Structure 1
Amino acid sequence: MKIVLNHQVQLKDFREGYVNIYKDFESNVIPHKGDYIADLCFKDPYEYEVIEVIINYQENECNVTLKPLIAAHNDKDFLLRYVEMSEHHDWYCPTKEYL
């Protein structure tokens, strides 16, 4: 099954900016709400909690939403730097050009 991880990165004030990054891979293990996902992209914390799982059996796809990363500041450049760093770990951001 195709697993799609969705991770939202937010500035301290959500209204100042946020971005969604995604990573997909094939796996027979389906995450559940409350599980934790670790990835080399994540620093501290090293893992993020699964807050939502949506399974689409017709598409053989599982969409997994992780607990958002909330920055301690409102530096909009942080979002672009985070997206660029995450791309080195096979994450992608379909809205990168708008940052």
Structure 2
Amino acid sequence: MSEPVGIEDIKVHLHLDPDDTTDDAYLTSLLLAARRAIEIKTGQTIVADEPSLAGADLEMAKHAIRLIVGTWFSSREHIASEATAPREIPGTLTWLIEPLMKWDDGE
């Protein structure tokens, strides 16, 4: 399976010129990192032979990817000190990611 959010899609989300390829390699890297971050955080797979996220859950993950990439793209440098760095993910992403989390029921 290909990446769930492509370059064209993220450029629309970020209001970037679709014909400008200047940031394509960087955006591709951000898309991959955001997708993997969601997979690791949720314990679910998005890109795999048999992904565990599909349908509406995949749409939620795709929106989370767009938001993460948007944040990383607009804030390319580390801007918070260790003392002021957030300890939790922002509320918008929490609302998107937490329902997708795979919980260990002990079985």
TM-score (normalised: structure 1): 0.28
Name the one with the larger helix percent.
2
Q: Which has the higher contact order (CA 8 A, sep 6+)?
A: 1
TM-score (normalised: structure 2): 0.27
